[in-house]
Amino acid sequence: MAAIVVIPARYGSKRLPGKALLSQTGKPLIQHAVESVGGARTIDRVVVATDDRRIVKAVASFGGQAVLTSPDCRTGTDRIAEAADKLGLDDADIVVNVQGDEPEMPGWCVDKAVELLKSSGADVATLATPISATEATLMNLTKVVFGADGRALYFSRARIPHDRDAAGKVQHYLHHGIYAYRAAFVRAFAKLPSTPAEQAEKLEQLRALEHGYSIQVGVVDYRGARIDTPDEYAAFASRYVRGQAGR
């Protein structure tokens, strides 16, 4: 049984086109993502799944592996399903989906997701981090609510759960862009019709919940960069350059 990271990276991001190739740090953003997860001890290799030959070329330039997938994939998970077939993965193989715009996702988070998938019996494993009520109001951050057993109940860009009495006793959780599942799941998922909540929130994990699949949430102490806007990329690049200069 193999375990691999597949990083979906499309060129045409609506808010930041071509972000996978932004290289103000001296490296394309996709290289940061590949190198960051590369230290995971539970995986055999890292593969980028993309719809653009420019990203394939960039990945090859730093010695990485990429597969070219259709530009018609609805979501990153659909792109991974196509990549799983092109890579010849067995249904039992473990796939870890790490978003290409999370350039600081550490290897230990990958390991945590893989271990959680194996131990929980859930269809999918993912990660979350506690955040403040103020941060929970930010619409660019995805939040998750889960039960006492750690199974996800809902994901939203809105602040959930709603603190009706404003008592300040509600703990909110930021959802990270990482999922672990078996290749059989991702192949089945790609064939499912889109669902109302997925369409409303633009969050593909809701398709899994609405079709009755289980998602196990692990809580971790991790807050890395998530690049959705030019300002977020500029902040990441500036921090990285300062860090390199301080070495």
pLDDT reported for residue 157:
95
pLDDT reported for residue 242:
87
Q: d(Cα 36, Cα 13) in Å, to the nearest integer? A: 21
Q: Identify whether 246 is part of a domain.
A: no
- The length of the chain is 247
Q: Are 48 and 55 in contact (CB under 8 A)?
A: yes
**CATH code where residue 161 lies:** 3.90.550.10
pLDDT reported for residue 146:
98
pLDDT reported for residue 228:
86
- Tell me how many domains the chain contains: 1
Can you list the alpha helix ranges (DSSP code H) found in the chain?
A: 29-37, 53-61, 76-86, 107-120, 183-190, 196-201, 205-210, 230-245
pLDDT reported for residue 22:
94
Q: Identify whether 75 is part of a domain.
A: yes
pLDDT reported for residue 53:
95
Q: Identify whether 184 is part of a domain.
A: yes
pTM value is 0.94
pLDDT reported for residue 106:
96
Reported as a single tens digit per residue, the pLDDT across 147-171 is 999 999 999 999 999 988 887 889 9
Ranges of residues in the chain whose predicted pLDDT is under 50: none
The H or E element containing residue 47 is strand 45-50
For 211, residues 6+ apart whose C-beta sits below 8 A from its C-beta are 192, 195
165: containing domain = 3-241
In 3D, which of 180, 130, 177, 133 has the Cα closest to residue 158? 133
For 217, residues 6+ apart whose C-beta sits below 8 A from its C-beta are 125, 126, 127, 128, 144, 146, 150, 151, 152, 173, 175
Q: d(Cα 94, Cα 184) in Å, to the nearest integer? A: 9
pLDDT reported for residue 59:
97
Q: Identify whether 185 is part of a domain.
A: yes
Q: Identify whether 117 is part of a domain.
A: yes
Q: Are 165 and 99 in contact (CB under 8 A)?
A: no
Reported as a single tens digit per residue, the pLDDT across 105-124 is 999 999 999 999 999 999 99
Q: What angle do CA 12, 22, 16 make, to 5 degrees?
A: 40
Q: Identify whether 91 is part of a domain.
A: yes
Q: Identify whether 247 is part of a domain.
A: no
